[in-house]
Amino acid sequence: MGYRTRLVNIGNSKGIRIPRPLLKQVNLEGDVEIRVEDNQIIVRRVAEMRQGWEAAFQRMAEVGDDHMLDQETSTDWDQAEWQW
């Protein structure tokens, strides 16, 4: 089902009112990302920081890809200054 709305003036910009049923359908609230793609304006939720990292780390551990890439090194500071 499509909705018809009108562009409204907001200062030097334009805006639209998005009907509540559409907002509920896509669970859209708070901050959003807006961009142009294929000559269309796309509005979507802002991805949470580090979203999906836990699952990615779990997959890395399962395949043994969760080790350090660099060799551990010790510095003078580590030897003289660091205390446990």
CATH number of the domain encompassing residue 8? 2.10.260.10
Identify the CA nearest to 29 among candidates 7, 45, 53. Answer: 45
- The series of mean pLDDT values per 10 residues for the chain, 84 residues long, is 89 93 91 95 87 90 87 81 76
* CA separation for the pair 4, 19 (Å, rounded): 9
Per DSSP, what are the bridge partners of residue 36?
41
Per DSSP, what are the bridge partners of residue 32?
45
Which pTM value belongs to this model?
A: 0.51
Q: Is there a domain that residue 2 lies in? A: yes
Q: Is there a domain that residue 83 lies in? A: no
- Both tokens of 8, joined, read 């409204």
Q: Strand pairing of 40-45 and 32-37?
A: antiparallel
DSSP letter for 73, please.
-
Count: domains in the chain: 1
